[in-house]
Amino acid sequence: MSNHVEPYMPGESTGQTEGPGRLKGRRILIIGGGQDSHDIADPPIGNGRAMSVLFAREGAHVAVADRSASAAQATCDQIKSEDGAAFVIEADVTSPSDIQRMIADATAKLGGLDGLVYNVGVVAEMWLTNITPEGWDKTFSANLRGAALALKEALPEMADNGAVVLISSLASLKPGSRLPAYDASKAALAGLMRHAALEGARKGIRANVIAPGLIDTSLGRLATKGRPGRAKTPVPLGRQGTGWEVANAALFLISDAAAYITGQVLSVDGGMSTLG
């Protein structure tokens, strides 16, 4: 008798759910809420778009920020097609002035700010022998400095008992991406998050990190194209994750269901960080 169990894919894993209103009335900014298809035909939904759509389904008014206005608009169009509330903010997180404007615009148009998600990932050269100062600085500027400046601007504006989620990566916990600047910048998000949690606690603001593993997104498929062995990486639960599964973890941490959780790193990786 075989003990093999087929990988489990409930409706939450594929976005086939209707929200019961866990974020009703919340005002949330998602930085990196657009999506780059990377010229992939019929691309799977990315983490940022999935979070934006799911949060809107749960009753939130969502500000979708992205360096690509068209990508953010496509996310907003999907939200509005489901009768949700969302609007676009075009901003480049490597520009401090853009970050200031983004937080100010989101706060003004939302009428306040209850939650923030930072979902940005830039990669540079593979292997330490190939890194350049320019690639290193570009990666850290987007992945880490942008998050720090966004928190600097947002925390004073955030309502009491708000929540912050920073999207990191399994690469922050164990080697394997072959991208030293990416790994290091994503690992540093945990230190930044803990400081934000410490400062935010005075207002009841929580801050946490999500570390996704192998997720089937456009960027993930592009990475696999460059390193085909990635697709053969053994995952204890037998499959790659979906953007919806990252979004559901973020929903939990943003919502009142996680009201007593702060300063933590949650891996969404099918067991790779601990079992692989």
- Stronger pLDDT, 14 or 184, i.e. the higher one: 184
Inform me whether the pLDDT recorded for 2 exceeds 60. Answer: no
Which residue has tokens 């639960």?
237
- Stronger pLDDT, 218 or 164, i.e. the higher one: 164
CA distance 239 to 231: 10
Going from the N-terminus, what domains does the chain have, and what CATH number goes with each? 24-275 (3.40.50.720)
Q: What six digits make up the tokens of 87?
A: 């609007």
Q: Is 8 a catalytic residue?
A: no
Q: Quick: pLDDT tens for 125-160.
A: 999 999 999 999 999 999 999 999 999 999 999 999
List 8, 118, 182, 260, catalytic entry: 182
Instruction: Note the pTM of the prediction, 2 decimals.
Output: 0.92
Predicted pLDDT of residue 177: 83
Residue type present at position 216: D
* Cα-to-chain-centroid distance, residue 274: 21
Inform me whether the pLDDT recorded for 1 exceeds 60. Answer: no
Percent of the chain at pLDDT > 70 equals 98
**What is the average pLDDT value for the chain, to the nearest integer?**
93
Provide the pLDDT confidence category of residue 5 given band limits of 50, 70 and 90: low
| Interacting residues of 243 by C-beta distance below 8 A, sequence separation 6+ | 44, 45, 46, 47, 49, 50, 51, 215, 216, 217
